[in-house]
Amino acid sequence: MSERFETMAVHAGYEPEPATGAVMPPVYQVSTFAQRSPGQGTGYEYARTDNPTRTPLQRALAELEGAEHALVFSSGLAATDAVLNTLKAGDHVLAGNDLYGGTYRLFSRVAVDRGLTFDFVDLQSCELEDAFRPNTRLVWFETPTNPLLNIIDIRRVAGIAHTHGALVAVDNTFMSPYFQNPLKLGADIVMHSMTKYLNGHSDVVMGCLMTSNDELYARLKFLQNAVGGVPGPWDCYLALRGIRTLALRMKAHGENAMAVANWLSQDRRIERVAYPGLAGHPGHDIAKRQASGFGGMVTFFVNGGLEDARRMLERVKLFTLAESLGGVESLIEHPAIMTHASIPPEQRAAIGISDTLVRASVGIEHPDDLIADLDQALG
């Protein structure tokens, strides 16, 4: 029987535990497992390699993303670094020029010391073909991008990359599997910072990778164990608990974000709104084609200067001024000072991260209350 996403989110990855009938997996707070004979165990040997609470979470993630395999890591950056560890010194990576600041820092200040080379390019450009080199092995990007919410055509980029023998990895954090499935559009790897929408309650830091490439999975599984950046069983339990309400939460996030974006776009105190759900967004048609919704993130530019943006952010009451996103509560932040401060100022300016740019993670509160909060904060 073919199940819809809402049903899969509730049931994916786990059947009631046969010994007790527990409808959620127990938290196996254990580091090692007894063996019947040397080398003959139950399938679990040491909790860095595998844990019975982690296993159903990975199965659930694979089901929801439409992948054959999923692996979880201690953070989204640990998952990203595992992908980089499949490469070798001298390999070249093409990355989107609008990235989460932590990803940019990992690429430009850590991975380069291991001999990898990077170019940060506009993946919407018609000249994308010219950016590839003979040693390009990976294309990494987000869509929608963070924080400008640009839309990258996954199918187009994957088609070009594959003709050059490069793998394609898509950071799908902003959309979650509910709205977008990059593997179905040609991507080879999907990454999520599970800290955000997948867990959804701002109480877990975790990342994951999904793929349907068996050879790539085997390499990533080896790296997950060999490097050891894995989450503990309690975090895995919490993340699986969060996934059970993913469909309900994402529907509310998307509806609320659309309401907030529409209101902001008509307010004279706002210079411009970037939300893919608005018909005037340059990536609106691509977003409609490759996703089933537009997500819960809204970026906007306040009229005035830095002090006007700062004053608005200091006055919010329902929105919480904080980094991160994807929780049930609404968050708001200033990328140039907060999440993207690790990107050099000249590069921020070049891609459009200005001092008046504000990024909002629209939660599941009543949209009228959120709009009223922004209204009073803008003054």
Active site residues: 48, 100, 171, 196
Q: Which two tokens stand for residue 232?
A: 């503990």
> Which of these, 149, 176, 142, 151, lies nearest to 286 by C-alpha position?
151
Packing angle of the helix pair 367-378, 306-315 (nearest 10 deg): 130
Contact by Cβ (8 Å): 123, 187: no
Strand locations in 32-130, DSSP E? 69-73, 92-96, 117-121
Nearest residue to 361 (alpha-carbon basis) of 149, 177, 171, 203: 149
Instruction: Output the CA angle 62-362-274, nearest 5 degrees.
Output: 95
Answer yes or no: are the C-beta atoms of 334 and 222 closer than 8 Å.
Answer: no
For residue 88, the number of C-alpha atoms closer than 13 Å in the C-beta half-sphere is 1
C-beta contacts of 191-195 below 8 A and 24+ residues apart: 191/76, 191/79, 191/80, 191/83, 192/61, 192/76, 192/79, 193/75, 193/76, 193/79, 194/72, 194/76, 194/239, 195/75, 195/76, 195/324, 195/326
Q: Is 96 helix (H, G, I), strand (E, B) or coil?
A: strand
> Which is it for the CA torsion 318, 151, 357, 172, positive or negative?
positive
Closest to 362 in 3D by CA, of 259, 217, 221: 259
d(CA 54, CA 59): 9
| H helix or E strand, kind and range, residue 171 | strand 167-171
Helices (H) and strands (E) in the chain, counts: 13, 12
List CB contacts of 139: < 8 A, sequence separation 6 or more. 93, 94, 95, 123, 157, 161, 166, 167, 168, 169
